[in-house]
Amino acid sequence: MLSLIRDTRDSLRRPDHWLYAAWLSIVTGARKNLLGIFWVIFPPIVYVWGVGWFLGMLNPGRLRPFMAHVGVSFVLFRLIVTVANDCASTYRVHAPYINDGKVIYTDYVLSTLVKSLILFLFAVPVLFVALLMSEQFDPVGIPMAFAGLLIVIFNVYSWGVAISILGAKLPDFSEFLANLTMMLFLLTPIVWYPSSVPEGSMQNLFMKANPLHHLIAIVRDPLVDVAIEPLTWIYVAIMTVLGMFAAVFSYKNFSKRIPVWI
């Protein structure tokens, strides 16, 4: 446990490498395109004003709340999934740096996390407009949603550490995870309401077993005036403890083998 805490502390004390790398990745990607940084905010625009509007038309009278639901859900889903997928290949992508002796491995996990958080922040104005237009938006829920976001970030980092170790060991793990997250998109209430699934059905069982559903709910539900289910809090608490254990155990026992694996 001390090795992970020590390396995380050292990374946070010297953020110049991983913070700059995350920002540079976004900026250099934007400069290759004519419209530049616009493409960073384009996906949430498409999902809120495109997919959210189109599917919301199937729910007369609930168009604007549904657009807010889709927007918040999609942005959180992208945050979680992007970090997980990038962590699965981060050590192999940065193999030259690791072979040169840059072996504070938490730098690479934090870089993927910060990159996704930057994309999340760019999407916030789009989400805020959608929330203001929704009749269900409750400003009182903002502090609770922010607390939920911190829990999500902590979980994403913990599980990201474990996923990065597994990705270093198994070359095909990143491909497996990418396909798994595509399936989880359909099992997560992003373009549909959780209440639309009949209680006790197989679909409801899959939804409640889906960790992404619960991580998104603790941020989204307070903003749209929906009570968070007790099961969600229990699920997130268990997942947080397991994530901490997986991160500490994998980092302590296997991080020294990363240069050999990659």
Q: For residue range 193-205, list pLDDT tens digits in order.
A: 888 888 878 888 8
Comparing C-alpha atoms, which of 70, 74, 43, 39 is closest to residue 54? 70
pLDDT of residue 61: 64
> Residues of the chain whose pLDDT is less than 50?
none
Q: What is the residue-wise DSSP string for the chain?
A: -HHHHHHHHHHHH-THHHHHHHHHHHHHHHHTSTTTTHHHHHHHHIIIIIIHHHHHTTSTT-HHHHHHHHHHHHHHHHHHHHHHHHHTTHHHHTHHHHHTT---THHHHHHHHHHHHHHHHHHHHHHHHHHHH-TT--GGGHHHHHHHHHHHHHHHHHHHHHHHHHHHH-TTHHHHHHHHHHHHHHHSTTSS-GGGSPTTSHHHHHHHH-HHHHHHHHHHHHHTT-PPPHHHHHHHHHHHHHHHHHHHHHHHHHGGGHHHH-
**The pLDDT value given to residue 143:** 92
Q: What is the pTM of this model?
A: 0.88
End-to-end alpha-carbon separation of the chain, Å? 23
Cβ burial, residue 91 (10 Å; 0-12/13-18/19+): buried
Token pair, residue 194, equals 């959780």
Tokens of 32: 């290759």
| CB neighbours of residue 256 within 10 Å | 12
pLDDT at 250: 92
pLDDT of residue 45: 84
The pLDDT value recorded for residue 50 is 81
Rounded CA gap, 35 and 103, in Å? 37
C-alpha–C-alpha distance, residues 6 and 46, integer Å: 41
Q: What pLDDT shows up at residue 235?
A: 93
Q: How far apart are CA 175 and CA 92, in angstroms?
A: 13
- Neighbouring C-beta atoms of residue 258, cutoff 10 Å: 21
From CA 87, how far away is CA 152, in angstroms rounded? 16
